[in-house]
Structures are given as C-alpha cells and as structure tokens.
Amino acid sequence: MNKTILIITFLVFLSCTREQSEHRIEIEVNPNIELLGLAYFIGYEVDGIETDTLHFSDTTLLKKEWHNYGYNLANQFSSYADSENLAVCFALADHLWLDYLFTFLLQVEAFPNAKFPDDIDASHYIQFSLSGDLKEAREKATQFLDGMNAFYREISFNDYWTASRPYYDQAIREVRNEIPPVEFIEANEKFYKKSFNRYILIPSLTTPKGMGFGIRIKQNDSTSIYNVFGALDYQLFTDLNDLKMGFTNSDRLHELTIHEFGHSFVNPFVDELPDSLITASQSLFEPLRQAMSDQGYVTWKACLYEHFVRAGEIYLWTKLKYPDRVEKLKTEYIQKRQFIYIPVILTELQKYNQGEHASYVDAVYSSINKFKEIQFSINFKTIQ
C-alpha cells in the first residue's frame, strides 16, 4: 500500500471515529495520542505488571488483569521496547508529563507525517529545553516528532490502527451513551464568566487506565478544551460480538470529565496570582505535602489548582441540586484525599456568587489568606 492510500485510509477511519453529540460535547479518537500512549505503556508501565496488584471496587487485581488491553498490546509490541527510535524520544522528553506531550501532539499532523508547526505557541514546546532556550526547544521538539514518525513506521502502527477500528468504534459508542451532562458545562460558563468554542472528549485505549488530562489549546480566535483519558472500567475484547472497552462507568466518566474540563476554567485564574503570593503562602503546603505528593501533586501551585477545581465541582453540583453527588465528592475529596482547604474555598465561592467578591480572582485571594486558620488548627492539634 503506498503512502497516498495510507493517508486516505487514515482520513476515512478518523472521519468514522469522530462523533458530535446533540449537545456541545464532541467525541473523537486521535492516532497521535494512541501512538504516544503505546510508547509510554511499553516504556514505563510493564515493569511489575505481571506481579504487582492494585485495588478497584473493593477487589484486588494483578495489574496485568486490570490493564488487560494495554498488557495485550505490550506483549504484541514487546520486541520494540528497546527500539532506538523510542530511546531517542524518551531521552528528549523524559522530563515532560504526558499532558504536555499530548497538548503538543494535538497540534501537529498525524504520524508518520508529523512536522513542527510554525504557528504553534511557544508555551507548547518550550519545555523541551531544560534551560528554556527557544531555539533548542524547537530543535528537540522536531527531533521528538522525527523519532515518533520513525517509531510509527518501525512498528507498522497503521496495521494496528486499521485492525483496531472495532475497538475504537465501541469505545466511542460507550462514551456517547454516557455523555456527561451538558448542564454542568453551562453552569461553569455562567459561574466563571467564560466559555470555550469546543469541548472534546478523547477516549484512549493505549493511555493507562485511570489517567485523565485536561488540555486547553488556543488557535487564532478559537479555544478548545479536552479531556484525554484512559479506560475507566473492566474491558472485554476477545469477542468482537461482545466488546466492552471500559467506558461505561458513567459516574466515573462524568466526574473525570467535569474535573478535567474544570482545570481549563480555573487554572488561568490561579495563574494570575503573583509569584510572591505563591512563595509567601508556601508554608500552607506543609500540613498536606505527603498526602498531595502521594497523588502526584508535588508543588504548592499544583495543590492550589486541584483545590480550586475540586471546590468548584462541589459548589456547582450544589447549585444544580445534586445533594448525593455533593456529599460523595466532599467525602472523597476532603476526608479521603485530604484536600483540607476546600471548606474555606466553598465559603468564599458562595460570597463570590452573591456578589461579595468583585471577581473570582478576589475569591481566590481571600481563600488563600484564610487557609492559615486551618493550618494553625492542624498544627495546634499536632502539638497537643
């Protein structure tokens, strides 16, 4: 099959796997995301996968049983784990998080023809350079794309992409059947006084289960926000007549989507805070540093993002009159996951909603100033 036919095959397949709901939430799959997900899985997830265990729904499972689709792929592509092309890519990007790489890859052409886009904002590739040098970053980002293009060809990824169409079609059907409530997006727009042009879900079969990434991309005058996420539940894929690709857990899908979309609303407000305030309030991170680090939030600013996004979820579900979901989230976030400053934020969000704060940013400032009361209470109990 020549290159032209390959490209046509890809375009036809992509058009068949992109859906738009009757509301404003779109669903699509992306081959660039899938290739990077596969590379990440065989590079980082296979260690201990056959012996390590995890817990899901009060059940203990071997990792290979939970990540069964990924485990099957890892076995299928195990001979490429030591690929020189992959090694080059890992060397260039081993300091970057998946969400940063996904954001970059959503703005380039499909592998194996990806090229560095001249119109991409520097913020989406500058981190390829550890020193922040723009020229070096562009060179390394280009080398990364070249390496992924070569890896695509090396493993004949197009064969997987074509053969796996039934699995991706089923994944899209499952997500479409469990589409999150559009009323929550409308509540976000009204509450935060901002909106976006597109809201897009990208389910991924190669991204490890449980992972989700909120991504915001502005191109010209249009801004799109994404939730890129792995499967959320058990998968069955040996019988094409009885496929379950792990996206039928509506509660988990709704919570993850609302959370990841929430970052696009909230993070820019937190980014408006001066560095001096972040530094001055750094001690507030200490009472929960370990609990946050265990969840992957290793900086005070990352902790702030998570607090304000999660508090916003709780507050807006309250306004929408979903008391059961509100109590569930409070228990999960405040008690189990130790986001201890959420109650303070909820009080300030109520004041903002009632007009007592001139802006959402003012509510953020006020919340951080009042976190000290909780910190003092925790430290006092520790001393006692």
- Residue 156 CB: number of other CB atoms within 10 A? 10
Total residues belonging to the chain: 384
* Element (DSSP H or E) covering residue 187: helix 182-192
pLDDT band at 6 (very low <50, low <70, confident <90, very high): very low
Q: How many angstroms separate the CA atoms of 230 and 181, rounded?
A: 20
* Element (DSSP H or E) covering residue 211: none
Asked whether the bond before 112 is cis by omega within 30 degrees of 0, the reply is: yes
Give the pLDDT confidence score for residue 373 in this predicted structure: 75
Q: Which of 179, 175, 186, 183 is nearest to 322 (CA)?
A: 183
Q: How many angstroms separate the CA atoms of 267 and 89, rounded?
A: 29
Domain around 288: 272-383
From 141, 174, 207, the end of a domain falls on 174
Residue 324 lies inside a defined structural domain of this protein: yes
pLDDT band at 361 (very low <50, low <70, confident <90, very high): very high
Tell me the pLDDT tens digit for each residue of 99-147: 999 999 999 999 999 999 999 999 999 999 999 999 999 999 999 999 9
Six token digits for residue 241: 């007549």
For residues 169 and 289, membership in a common domain is answered with no
pLDDT band at 334 (very low <50, low <70, confident <90, very high): very high
Q: How far apart are the first and last CA of the chain?
A: 74
Residue 256 lies inside a defined structural domain of this protein: no
Give the pLDDT confidence score for residue 166 in this predicted structure: 97
From 174, 193, 221, the end of a domain falls on 174
Q: What is the mean pLDDT of residues 181-206?
A: 94
Residue 248 lies inside a defined structural domain of this protein: no
Q: Which of 306, 303, 329, 304 is nearest to 316 (CA)?
A: 329
Task: Name the least confident of 31-35, 219-223, 227-231, 290-294.
Answer: 219-223
Residue 82 lies inside a defined structural domain of this protein: yes
For residues 154 and 291, membership in a common domain is answered with no
For residues 156 and 287, membership in a common domain is answered with no
pTM, rounded to two decimals: 0.87
For residues 285 and 149, membership in a common domain is answered with no
CB-based contacts of 100: which residues, under 8 Å, 6+ apart?
A: 124, 127
Tell me the pLDDT tens digit for each residue of 250-304: 989 999 999 999 999 999 999 999 999 999 999 999 999 999 999 989 999 999 9
Q: How many angstroms separate the CA atoms of 324 and 361, rounded?
A: 29
Residue 203 lies inside a defined structural domain of this protein: no
- Residue 1 pLDDT > 70: no
Query: Distance of alpha carbon 241 from its chain centroid, rounded?
Result: 30
Q: How many domains does the chain have?
A: 2
Mean pLDDT score across all residues of the chain: 90
- Residue 10 pLDDT > 90: no
pLDDT band at 4 (very low <50, low <70, confident <90, very high): very low
Residue 190 lies inside a defined structural domain of this protein: no
For residues 153 and 32, membership in a common domain is answered with yes
Give the pLDDT confidence score for residue 231 in this predicted structure: 97
For residues 166 and 313, membership in a common domain is answered with no
3-state secondary structure of 225: strand
Q: What is the mean pLDDT of residues 157-172?
A: 97
3-state secondary structure of 296: coil
From 151, 174, 197, the end of a domain falls on 174
Residue 65 lies inside a defined structural domain of this protein: yes
- Residue 241 pLDDT > 90: yes
Give the pLDDT confidence score for residue 382 in this predicted structure: 38
Strand partners, 59: 56
Residue 351 lies inside a defined structural domain of this protein: yes
CB-based contacts of 60: which residues, under 8 Å, 6+ apart?
A: 53, 54
